[in-house]
């Protein structure tokens, strides 16, 4: 069945045979995601694995994710982080004994702390810690906005000639968010690079460390630069958040 979403033709596979054709026989032909505003403005012009086009860069990114970033061994190595953050959650709930608490806020904080330590190397959602680059409340708002804008249906994606009007205001919000994350990630990468230079016996402890190792690898088929490291840091954050929730 063929439909039309604005200016874009869409084919709906409504049977097992068609699904096999899409997912197995013709998977390389239709594997690309449409170039939507979210991919352009929130992931450094389609530089992450979720929005990048099928080709050498995407295949290399997929290999990096499967073999290093999200391998069973890598995820098991972060078990101590999950245990520590769960103990911290229990301590905070015990301290609030007899008071009304918003359990949703506590669970959100512990999830973000786990992910930020796994991906970025430190807590950024903990109100008890002072981070010089972003406040915990702002960090949570940035993450919420990132999830929202990556799932929004923008009119300009369906009707390209209306994109410049930005009727819903989504592109403006994406640009603002992109600047905030770029400033934040530049700070994170600078900290990691400084740590790598100052420690002779350096060992990668988080996913940004791993990504920077790839960036310095001359044997890669496609060079991974600083922009790609920032884009992958964002997508690993999202993937880890979804993984923890599930």
The per-residue pLDDT for range 199-241, each reduced to its tens digit, is 878 888 889 999 999 888 888 888 888 999 999 988 887 776 6
Number of structural domains the chain divides into: 2
Q: Which of 133, 78, 143, 75 has the alpha carbon at shortest distance from 109?
A: 143
Q: What is the pLDDT of residue 145?
A: 92
| DSSP letter, residue 166 | -
Using CA atoms, how far apart are residues 233 and 51, in angstroms rounded to an integer?
A: 14
Enumerate residues 6+ apart whose C-beta is below 8 A from 73. none
- Determine contact, residues 184/134, Cβ cutoff 8 Å: yes
Query: Percent of the chain, pLDDT > 90?
Result: 25
Average the pLDDT over 174-179 and give the result.
95
- The pTM for the full model equals 0.85
Query: Percent of the chain, pLDDT > 70?
Result: 95
Same domain, 42 and 5: no
- Determine contact, residues 29/212, Cβ cutoff 8 Å: no
Question: If pLDDT is split at 50, 70 and 90, which confidence band does 105 have?
Answer: confident
Same domain, 114 and 12: no
Q: What is the pLDDT of residue 173?
A: 96
Question: If pLDDT is split at 50, 70 and 90, which confidence band does 130 have?
Answer: low
Same domain, 171 and 185: yes
Same domain, 9 and 67: no
Range of the domain at 20: 1-30
Same domain, 123 and 168: yes
Same domain, 25 and 57: no
């Amino acid at each position: 069945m063929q439909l039309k979403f604005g200016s874009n033709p869409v084919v709906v596979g409504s049977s097992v045979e068609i699904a096999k054709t899409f997912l197995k026989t013709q998977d390389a032909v239709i594997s690309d995601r449409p170039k939507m505003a979210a991919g352009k403005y929130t992931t450094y012009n389609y530089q992450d694995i979720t929005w990048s086009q099928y080709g050498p860069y995407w295949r290399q990114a997929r290999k990096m994710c499967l073999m290093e970033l999200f391998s069973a061994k890598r995820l098991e190595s972060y078990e101590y982080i999950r245990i520590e953050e769960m103990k911290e959650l229990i301590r905070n709930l015990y301290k609030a004994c007899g008071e009304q608490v918003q359990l949703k806020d506590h669970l959100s904080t512990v999830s973000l702390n786990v992910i930020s330590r796994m991906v970025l190397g430190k807590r950024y959602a903990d109100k008890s810690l002072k981070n010089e680059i972003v406040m915990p409340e702002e960090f949570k708002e940035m993450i919420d906005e990132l999830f929202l804008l990556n799932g929004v249906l923008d009119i300009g994606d369906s009707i390209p000639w209306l994109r410049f009007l930005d009727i819903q205001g989504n592109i403006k919000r994406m640009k603002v968010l992109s600047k905030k994350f770029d400033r934040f990630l530049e700070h994170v990468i600078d900290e990691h690079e400084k740590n790598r230079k100052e420690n002779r016996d350096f060992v990668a402890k988080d996913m940004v460390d791993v990504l920077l190792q790839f960036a310095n690898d001359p044997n890669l088929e496609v060079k991974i630069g600083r922009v790609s490291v920032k884009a992958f840091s964002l997508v690993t954050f999202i993937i880890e958040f979804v993984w923890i929730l599930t």
